Structure 1
Amino acid sequence: MPPLTLDAAFSGANLLAVCGWLLLIATPRWRAGQVIAGLAVPTLLSVSYFVLISVHWHEARGGFSSLANVAALFTSRPLLLAGWVHYLAFDLLIGAWLLRCSQREYVPHWAMVPVLALTFLFGPIGYLLYRLVATSRDVVSEDRIPRFLARLPAPFRALEWEPRLTAAAIAMTLLIIPTALAYAVDPRLFNGDNVWLKPLKFEISIAIYLFSFALLLPLTGEAFQRSRLGRFTVWPVIALLFFELVYIAWRASRGEASHYNRDGLVAIILYAAMGVAAVLFTAASGILAYGLARKDAAPLPPALRRSLVLGLALTSVLGILSGAVLSAAGGHTVGAPAASAAVVPFFGWSLTAGDLRLAHFLALHAMQNVPAFALLAALLGKAAAPRAIDAFALVYGCVTAAALIAALNARPLLGVG
């Protein structure tokens, strides 16, 4: 029988590990499968590692005292294989442990699928994702939100937060931390901006969007929340928003464009999918407006209800319209800004050419801005507040439309430049 070659051992170790991961993902409740994936396969890989180290460690050149010595250590192919088997064994052990933890903590398995996939591919990143999922769920499930609200002034104590949307919003907020760190340490630029600036901006915007939905959905009636439309505003919206962010962050990590990227069939399909996702989660704000306008919605001051419905409706209609214009335009700007042209800090809106992103930004945040004005309008009294809110919503819509028209005519901001 010919001796086992290193390449054959590499392929065999990979096959064993992949089988273990498939068992973790596809049969999370099958006890025998978990024994195989969490005990038998890691043990076989560990034995293989022991044999490789025992037979070939004497060939080692280098060591662990510096990066250069580690690189020298892995110039030996047998030791390189041993290092790979080491990764396979420990990543699988961590994956099995995370799955057991998720079952004890009642984390749904669908949420564990990306965790396990990332642990298989990138080890610690999968662990970080699990901590993100588990922490977000704990914050919601352990009544920490009610305890926090109890410390606030009286008007805020009655607030109710939809737990799943709140957990997603917290997770999105926590993602800002590693993205900000990547922004700080990664010097790469794309179109003059740090490659991580766009994911950072989207994380902030999506977190605000999710927190808004989490606060507003409980104000609708129970019948609406149980309906198909009401259910659409929870998990589908969460999934669509996270898909959007994952795609943008993936492109950023590669230093590539996320929007208007049509370099190949995969890019075309993913960009189209991102566009469909954007339309759907923006339309969800209109669905939420309908839920708040129904007669069975929670009792609210008429002026506040009016502002919420108008703000959400503006976000839905103008958000989809401005997004469609952005997509059709083939770029963020109309007109050619100079390479060193001035822009609005952080947002990046051009001050020398038409920039379609301003109108889109105003549209998407009408759902927060119109109700915020309603709080000020309440000072005018019950009689005047509704008219003031209507007027503000009309002006807000006109300003958003003006920003869009100005950009299409290659004029910066609202056309005043």
Structure 2
Amino acid sequence: MSAAPHEPRRRVTRWHRPLLLMVASMLVLLAVSVAGLVFDDRVLQGAPVWLKPLKFAVSLAVYGTTLAWMLSLPHRGRRWTSAMATVFAAAAFVDVGIVAVQAARGTFSHFNDSPEPFEETIQRVFGMGVMSMMLANLVLAILLTVQRVGPDRAASRAIHTGLGLAITGMVLGFLIPFQGEPHTGLTTDGAPVPLTSGHSVGVPDGGPGLPITQWSTTGGDLRVPHFVALHGLQVMLLLALLLAWLAARHPILRDERVRARLVGVAATGYAGLVALVTWQALRGQPLTGPDLLTLGAAALLAGCTAVACGAVLSTAVETSTR
């Protein structure tokens, strides 16, 4: 009887410590970035200098917490997954640290092609960190996808499909440097810096953008599909959690196989959404200004996803009444 209250504590200690340390560092950077936004009025390419560190801190804190939770679940190959998670945590810490240092210096952390030795070193380290994070995630995805991970089939499928979406998001990030045109940016002190590329398609970086994200409202922006796919992992997990909560109220969802099929349909629809916003961005079209072709494709995607969900539920009803 006395062992039960201590079980949650033992569960928490299995959370991956390097990832938790990385998350803690992101929370510290988040606080620093908020203070920077309040007290530092410098602007870099149309955005406050501390906005980028803030966005990276939030994104990595969420992603790192999700990975730490997943690795606390029973699974095979724990030594390998722990090692890959440590690589990810270290690379994320270094890369986001570079983003913060460059923000403090009032210069660019991305696409910086300055010939100065310090800037060249920074860019090499940054590039190695990006590749390390992607490869570590890829190995983690492979190790966890070949086995069932999670309290039920729906959660396991959410993890599998979500990791696939996250890897897709990282790969889409490599589209950004390949599509942009070399140009010159100005530091907060007005010094020119050669840049190899940019985020926007069809318009220069630094133009009108959405609040906080700064996604372009006048042209395409490849940060949109990168973000949408990268955080598909959290979306799939939240969906599995929502379905589990609804199962207590709707008997049709109590079968975990039904919930797993619904997660699979949602993941397929979400992958279609990633493809849609990627196509939209590459056509130089802002997320906020879809044309009729984009709206038609979105409607078709939504309709197909709804029909597939209806088919899963209809089959479940027929099965339960036999």
Match of 2:47 among 169, 193, 197: 193
- CA deviations over 1:76-131 (Å, ceiling 9, x no partner): xxxxxxxxxxxxxxxxxxxxxxxxxxxxxxxxxxxxxxxxxxxxxxxxxxxxxxxx
Where does 1:83-122 land on structure 2 (aligned, <5 Å)? Answer: none
How far did 1:168 drift? 2.3
Aligned to 1:410: 284
Aligned to 1:36: none
Structure 1 window deviating more from structure 2 (318-327 vs 272-281): it is: 272-281
- CA deviations over 1:276-298 (Å, ceiling 9, x no partner): 32232133333333333344x66
Residue 126 of structure 2 aligns with an amino acid whose one-letter code is: M
Structure 2: stretches of 5+ with no match in the other structure: 180-196, 247-252, 292-322
The number of residues matched between the two structures is: 260
Could you tell me how far apart the structure 2 residues matched to 1:369 and 1:414 are?
Answer: 21
Match of 2:254 among 375, 381, 395: 381
Q: Is the 8 A contact 2:27 2:61 kept in 1?
A: yes
Could you tell me how far apart the structure 2 residues matched to 1:148 and 1:196 are?
Answer: 41
Could you tell me how far apart the structure 2 residues matched to 1:220 and 1:353 are?
Answer: 45
Could you tell me how far apart the structure 2 residues matched to 1:216 and 1:377 are?
Answer: 18
Could you tell me how far apart the structure 2 residues matched to 1:148 and 1:192 are?
Answer: 50
Residue 191 of structure 1 aligns with an amino acid whose one-letter code is: Q
Q: Are 2:107 and 1:256 equivalent residues in the alignment?
A: yes
Could you tell me how far apart the structure 1 residues matched to 2:58 and 2:222 are?
Answer: 19
Could you tell me how far apart the structure 1 residues matched to 2:206 and 2:16 are?
Answer: 45
Q: Is the 8 A contact 1:334 1:407 kept in 2?
A: yes
Could you tell me how far apart the structure 1 residues matched to 2:7 and 2:151 are?
Answer: 23
Relative distance call for 1:398 and 1:258 in structure 2 (3 A) is same
- CA deviations over 1:12-68 (Å, ceiling 9, x no partner): xxxxxxxxxxxxxxxxxxxxxxxxxxxxxxxxxxxxxxxxxxxxxxxxxxxxxxxxx
Match of 1:301 among 125, 148, 152: 152
Q: Are 2:251 and 1:350 equivalent residues in the alignment?
A: no
Structure 1: stretches of 5+ with no match in the other structure: 1-145, 151-156
Q: Which structure carries more helix by proportion?
A: 1
Q: Is the 8 A contact 1:292 1:305 kept in 2?
A: no
How far did 1:320 drift? 2.9
Could you tell me how far apart the structure 1 residues matched to 2:242 and 2:107 are?
Answer: 43
- TM-score normalised over the length of structure 1: 0.57
How far did 1:211 drift? 0.9
Relative distance call for 1:359 and 1:272 in structure 2 (3 A) is farther
Q: Helix, strand or coil: the match of 2:174? A: helix
Relative distance call for 1:320 and 1:216 in structure 2 (3 A) is same
Aligned to 1:31: none
How far did 1:400 drift? 1.0
Q: Percent identity?
A: 30
Could you tell me how far apart the structure 2 residues matched to 1:166 and 1:259 are?
Answer: 26
Match of 2:172 among 305, 319, 322: 322
How far did 1:301 drift? 0.3
Q: Helix, strand or coil: the match of 2:27? A: helix
Q: Radius of gyration: which is bigger?
A: 1
Q: Helix, strand or coil: the match of 1:350? A: coil
Match of 1:225 among 52, 71, 78: 78
Match of 1:168 among 22, 31, 36: 22
Aligned to 2:191: none
Aligned to 1:334: 201
Could you tell me how far apart the structure 1 residues matched to 2:124 and 2:23 are?
Answer: 25
Does 1 or 2 have the higher relative contact order (CA < 8 Å, sep 6+)? Answer: 2
Structure 1 window deviating more from structure 2 (299-308 vs 273-282): it is: 273-282
Where does 1:13-412 land on structure 2 (aligned, <5 Å)? Answer: 160-221=14-75, 223-227=76-80, 229-234=81-86, 236-264=87-115, 266=117, 267-295=119-147, 300-316=151-167, 318-329=168-179, 330-336=197-203, 341=208, 343-378=209-244, 379=246, 380-382=253-255, 383-412=257-286
- CA deviations over 1:331-376 (Å, ceiling 9, x no partner): 10001269763x2210111122001101110121111111111222
Q: Helix, strand or coil: the match of 1:384? A: helix
Could you tell me how far apart the structure 1 residues matched to 2:269 and 2:289 are?
Answer: 16
Could you tell me how far apart the structure 2 residues matched to 1:403 and 1:414 are?
Answer: 11
Could you tell me how far apart the structure 2 residues matched to 1:385 and 1:401 are?
Answer: 24
